[in-house]
Amino acid sequence: MKLTDIKKLKVAELRLRLKEAGLDTRGLKAELVDRLWSALETGQRGKDGEVEVEVNLQKDSLTIASAPTETAEVRSVSYVSLSSTRAKSLQLSLDREEAEEEDEDKVRLDPYGSHLHFEVGPDGACGHPRFWARFPSLWSGCRLTHGVLQGRVGFEVRLERKLLTTQLEDQEVMEPYGLRVGWSLAGTSLLLGEDDLSFAYDWSGKKVSGGKEDEFGEPFSEGDIIGCYTSFSTDGAAQLSFHKNGRFIGVAFSLGASVLENRPLFPHILCKSCSVRFLLDPTAPPWYPCPPGFTPLAALPVGQRVRATQTPFCRAQCEVLLMVGLPGSGKSHWARTHMKQHPDKQYRLLGTEELLACMISGGQSDSRLQQACQCLTDLIKMAAQTPGNYILDQCNILFSARRYKLQLFAGFRRQVVVVFPSADEWRRRLSQHQLNDWVRIPETALLKLQGILPEQQSDLLEDLQYVELSQEQAQELLQEYKDEARRLLPPIPKPEKRKPRLYKKRPCHEVPPPSHRTQWTGQEKYWIVLHQVSFQNGPVFGSIHLPINFNHLPCPC
């Protein structure tokens, strides 16, 4: 069966053949065609422990067991090229998965334990903010793949260079760059130092934990190397100390066993408009000698390191939750609660509030809100191409916006979560939200919202969940909101009819232009005709005046 024949099949026929083959029947038509074609192309063999795929055609049946040589010889050029392309892509995918399995014990920057707007270098030892040029006030955090919970361990990180050399006049950047280094527990915020279980040494010469800054040590800048060391005691307590360019700065934090609760500490950085590099080569000498008794994290035996939870590498194993609800209805609260209840899935929360929180310095001005919205648009497109679990925290009450985003994440397990509380509860949450964030949403803006609640659509989503009011109750309440909006809002003025354009007459000249037509004056007109008369001495010309009768003139045509 050729690819063109598969494309001609309807969705119901494609799903029927996939079901007969024991394959997944969910997704758009393009996905179904690709899935069926891949099954036909790969030819799963029974002797290798795989299941043979049988596809029944309209006139005959085609069993894929082992492709004969004669069939391969008569393939068209396009068929062979498409087959080779798919085989290469499949091989690259397998090679990438094998490489990831081989590197499971290698200490590196964790691309899945970082902000999506943090870019990890190809060697896994360096990184920088992805949007440093467009959004210089955005902080980006990342952890290492391995942590520790015993012994005396440390690591070194270098502030490579500043990525923003001049401050742009049209952007409110109070500090041109910044860096925090330290330790944190898995599951805490990627904003190092903003969580109670997150401990950082800031570039300004302060120690930060739980969002509180205290004077500590001295500032560091471009080219400086910071050593971060933790010393565990036998009872589970730990001391966190820092070095600058090989010189001891001091012990910044002392953590009791009740604080850590036998949970590992992971190396963590948070940077803004600068690039950083770790020393993660276990065979390379340290940049500065370690304190006596300490061992670099990368040189620890595998059994003494703790691997962070891994996220799925395949898109089919990933999921995306699309939040739907009116402003202030509780979408962000539900999303964060869901993330805490499922820490193993390592959800990435994508929303404007999350991005505004990454702009630590300065208030939430209009320009920052605009930057957050622009950055969120780019992040959603990037997330659709990056395996992982995501929660899109936006209103998403417009059908066109929902459809566009769900189509972007084709291949993921797509779930829509609708948060629609009762009228009294929504007003209470909205007032609380405006009180906490000092952001007041105009009442007219809420009344003008013309949303449509989602319904189950097999081609766009796999699951639809209403977490508060049921779908019927939410639909009725939304209609009441719309009726109230029509009653309270002033009527939309109709556009005025455009007046017809008046064209001025051309001005007349004082002397009328000469006409090429003969005007009738009532008097006889004469033609002057030359007449030749022959005489003996030669021809003589004369004129004869003939009257003109306009009624008997010949037609000029």
Can you give the pLDDT of all 557 residues of the chain as single tens digits?
677 778 778 778 888 888 888 788 877 777 787 788 777 766 533 334 433 333 343 434 333 333 333 333 333 333 334 344 444 444 444 444 444 444 678 999 998 899 999 999 999 999 999 998 888 889 999 999 999 999 999 999 999 999 875 554 444 556 788 999 999 999 899 999 999 999 999 999 999 999 999 999 899 999 999 999 999 999 999 999 999 999 999 999 999 999 999 999 999 999 999 999 999 999 999 999 999 999 999 999 988 999 998 877 788 889 999 999 988 889 999 999 999 999 888 899 999 989 988 987 655 567 788 888 889 999 999 999 999 999 999 888 888 889 999 999 998 999 999 999 999 998 898 888 777 665 566 666 666 666 788 888 778 888 999 999 999 999 999 888 888 887 777 776 777 777 676 666 666 555 555 555 555 555 555 554 445 544 445 555 455 555 555 455 555 54
- Residues 17, 526: Cα–Cα separation, whole Å: 99
The predicted pLDDT at position 249 comes to 94
Q: How far apart are CA 34 and CA 429, in angstroms?
A: 46
- The answer to whether the CB of 238 falls within 8 A of the CB of 255 is yes
Residues 93 and 110 in one domain: no
Only one residue has tokens 């509180």, namely: 212
Cα separation of 531 and 511, whole Å?
38
User: Is residue 268 domain-shared with residue 126, that is, in the same domain?
Assistant: yes
Whether residues 349 and 378 fall in one domain: yes
**Does the residue 215 lie in any domain?**
yes
For the chain, the 3-state helix, strand and coil shares in percent, each to the nearest 5, are: 30, 25, 45
What is the predicted pLDDT for the residue at 74? 36
Q: Single out the residue of 111, 180, 168, 162 nearest to residue 134, CA to CA.
A: 168
CB 191 within 8 A of CB 270: yes
- The answer to the question of residue 91 being in a domain is yes
**Nearest 5°: phi and psi at 176?**
-65, -30
> End of a domain among 432, 464, 488?
488
> Is 285 domain-assigned?
yes
CA dihedral defined by 211, 216, 217, 218, rounded to 10 degrees?
60
Please tell me whether residues 95 and 124 are part of one structural domain: no
State residue 58's pLDDT score: 40
How many H helices and E strands in the chain? 13, 26
* CATH number of the domain bearing residue 303: 2.60.120.920
Residue 381 · residue 141 · CB < 8 Å = no
> Is the CB of residue 378 less than 8 Å from the CB of residue 350?
no
Nearest-angstrom CA–CA distance, 211 and 293: 32
CA atoms of 381 and 363, how far apart (whole Å)? 27
Residues 163 and 234 in one domain: yes
Q: For residue 71, is it within any domain?
A: yes
In 66-205, DSSP assigns E strands to: 109-114, 118-120, 126-129, 140-144, 146-147, 152-162, 178-185, 198-202
Q: Which two tokens stand for residue 443?
A: 């009442």
- The radius of gyration of the chain from alpha carbons, rounded to an integer in Å, stands at 39
DSSP summary character for residue 21:
T
Number of structural domains the chain divides into: 3
**Whether 168 contacts 300, CB under 8 Å:** no
Q: Give a yes or no: residue 543 inside a domain.
A: no
Which residues have CB under 8 Å from 80's CB, separation 6+?
none
CATH number of the structural domain spanning residue 347: 3.40.50.300
* Residues 6 or more apart whose Cβ sits within 8 Å of residue 71: none
Domain that holds residue 171: 106-307
Indicate whether 172 and 117 sit together in one domain: yes
Whether 532 is in a domain gets the answer no
Predicted pLDDT of residue 34: 74
Strand order from edge to edge, sheet including 463-466? 348-351, 390-393, 319-324, 413-418, 463-466
pLDDT at 420: 93
Do 274 and 402 lie in one domain? The reply is no
Q: What is the pLDDT of residue 470?
A: 92
Q: Which residue has the tokens 């090229």?
A: 81
Which of 266, 290, 307 delimits the end of a domain? 307
Same domain, 371 and 480: yes
- With beta carbons less than 8 A apart as the criterion, state whether 37 and 54 touch: no
Q: Are 35 and 54 in contact (CB under 8 A)?
A: no
Pick from 462, 488, 514: which residue ends a domain?
A: 488
Residues 293 and 347 reside in one and the same domain = no
With respect to residue 297, please indicate whether it lies within any of the assigned structural domains.
yes
Phi, psi of 486 (to 5 degrees): -65, -30
Strand order in the sheet with 140-144: 109-114, 140-144, 265-272, 178-185, 198-202, 206-209, 212-215
Query: Is there a single domain that holds both residue 86 and residue 140?
Result: no
Nearest CA-CA partner of 240 in 270, 220, 217, 224: 217
Same domain, residue pair 16 and 126: no
Residue 505 resides in a domain = no
In this structure, the answer to whether residues 39 and 141 fall within a common structural domain is no
